[in-house]
Amino acid sequence: MRKNWWKILAAVFVSASVIGGFMGPVPVLPILNETIRNVYFHVPMWFTMITLYLISVIYSIKYLSSGKPEHDLIAVESVNTGIIFCFLGLLTGMQWANITWGAPWPNDPKLNGSAIATLMYLAYLVLRNALDEEQKRARISAVYNIFAFPILVVLIYILPKMTDSLHPGSGGNSNFSEIDMDNYMRPVFYTAVVGWILTGVWISTLRYRIRLLENKANKID
Amino acid sequence: MSLLKQVQSLVAKDLALEWRSKNAINSIVLYLVSTVFVCYQAFESVDTLVWNALFWIILLFASINAISRSFVQESQYRQLYYYSIASPKAIILSKIIYNIILMVFLSIVAYVIYSIIFKNPVGDPLLYFFAVLLGSISFATVFTMVSGISSKTGNNSTIMAILAFPVIIPLLILLLKLSSNALKGLDRASSEREIITLLAINVITVTISLLLFPYLWRD
């Protein structure tokens, strides 16, 4: 129980944000209308994805310095879970964009950036498949993971700020929190973010433990 | 031998090898000329937007072809020999420098050929030329490390493209923006941010390559 408190917290926070997100009052804004509630679901997906990729890079660095196969497993399972959250983020975003901007895929630097980031991590998985020997696979994919990460940061944080974007907070648009988020929305939003990040980490630890068990079973044979 | 000395002699070795066979240079130049010519046959005349995009696409594919071979053209045994006499940092640094020299040469050739065959509509030629140089340096720094990674896998060319494209796209976006500014002949101060960002990315890439290559080469 002592170790599981954060899993309970994740479940409580996610359900609280779902209930609070659908039932609570939202500011009435033109165009956005009720779709503003999507901010509770769309934005946390990206935060979770970035957190998972960050965990993956940290464990790739740890793997290079320690050589423990467990670290490599954590890195790859974080990427696997991160890709799921990336697709969820794209899905919720495309729905939202279809309603507010009129097309599911407008030419927006954040959209393109996230799509390219997905390509980067899919390439990471392809690279892993191309290498047979386990230690070599772990080491070389860790190198690629670390090599790609700073460019990912440029892609997601620096480039959108330099160009015009439909997203808030970039290219001269004002931030969400400045105009739209009133005092009721903010706590719900942060609850959702924390809840989803914890859920993402939980999923990846589950996957990691399954992989550990599989490895154990394979060694007995 | 100090690091600088090692890098110097390794670059000289690479250049001498290339000079003797002239294999890579000739084939890539031929590749460039034929690609430009195919594009000319297909498009005949282009507006400035397409002109810029087409040039960078041609340069991108030529540079992937040129650099993907930087770690596989020499035999495994000879590489083992290099690793035993030089530090891994010297090896990656020398490869990066050699590829920068190669890419600068190739991109100048590409620019000249492309400008002759298609009409050159550039408004600020000096800035455009600077963008081309910066682009070739960026391609060299990024692709050298990626080719090092992909050389460790068996089927080289596909993996190289898959790994390299997502990493180069952010740089390519910046380069396209910088070069289209030059194309329109905008004030040079307006493209300052792109230049600084590109230089910063290059510095980061080279630093990370230096840090990571020692883990990559040992087998």
- In angstroms, what CA-CA distances link B117 with B40, B113, B133? 7, 6, 20
Of A102-116, A133-147, B170-184, give the lowest mean pLDDT range: A102-116
Residues near B11 by beta carbon (within 8 Å), at least 6 away in sequence:
B94, B97, B98, B101
- Quote the pLDDT of residue A221: 58
- Quote the pLDDT of residue B57: 92
Give the distance from residue B131's alpha carbon to the nearest chain A alpha carbon, in angstroms. 18
- Quote the pLDDT of residue B48: 82
- Chain A residues with CB under 8 Å of B212 CB are 64, 143, 146-147
User: Among residues B95, B97, B25, B94, which one has the least CA distance to residue B62?
Assistant: B25
B215 to A142: CB separation less than 8 angstroms, yes or no: yes
- Both tokens assigned to B125: 């030629």
Give the distance from residue A22's alpha carbon to the nearest chain B alpha carbon, in angstroms. 37
A147 to B204: CB separation less than 8 angstroms, yes or no: no
Nearest-by-CA chain B residue for A64: B215
Q: Looking at the partner chain, which of B154, B166, B174 has a beta carbon nearest the beta carbon of A119?
A: B166
- Quote the pLDDT of residue A63: 92
The pLDDT of A216-220, averaged and rounded, is 80
* SS3 sequence of A45-75: HHHHHHHHHHHHHHHHHHHHHHCCHHHHHHH
pLDDT digits over B124-133, tens only?
888 889 999 9
Residues near B81 by beta carbon (within 8 Å), at least 6 away in sequence:
none
Backbone φ/ψ region at B45: left (φ over 0), alpha (ψ -120 to 50), beta: beta
- Chain A residues with CB under 8 Å of B151 CB are none
Nearest-by-CA chain A residue for B217: A140
- In angstroms, what CA-CA distances link A209 with A18, A84, A203, A213? 28, 18, 10, 6
* Interhelix angle B88-117/B48-67, nearest 10 degrees: 140
ipTM greater than cut 0.90: no
